[in-house]
Structure 1
């Protein structure tokens, strides 16, 4: 990520993912309902995603120089697709897996450690492909 604008865009996309996760959680609460513990865990992930996004907004200037530029387009493409995908995931286990990778991606970016970015980015790309929502190559 080479500009504060890119970081702000990513933060917005992570916020959109948190909103999608929230909508998906509400769906899971309808009959047949997922276990209460699963719902609570997903709400925790939603809060963590929102926290990560808010931290990125606050740290946009610092993060712009953190060395994340090579993966910028891939990260933005994946997170843009993630929001749409979260709402369509049918199995609660897949929601758990997907949200864990989103959190890992957000944490790698927020920490300013680009070496931690590749694994969650690739995992999200594989999950998107498996769910039929592959991002464009970039």
Structure 2
């Protein structure tokens, strides 16, 4: 991570760290809750049982950590998209079109192609790879166009088969 978090990777690294901290906090809370029902013979160094109120407060902190991490992931993606050669509005429009198409599709092979193209686009955006993003965007456009052409065929019978 650079001195100032100025790249999408830096922001994502912070989000990853917050997520990992939330995971550790959750594990710690669960261990404390499990200890509540046992008699601990470990002596003075053993952790005290956790009260319901303490556990609830810790769970709320865990949720807050996860929300902050998710917000940073969104910020990272926005920042990454800002540096791409592809307009963000076009990415959002095609992502919405893909979502609507996926909702309507019943054929697994059509869904798989569109989802793979979406994943490729998301990976390029998160990885801040402008050339890969442009190629992934074209792949998504091609998959969406192919579905439109295929769905206009008279013998097109939507089924959840490959």
Which has a greater percent of helix?
1
Alignment TM-score, normalising by the size of structure 1 = 0.49
Q: Which has the larger radius of gyration?
A: 2
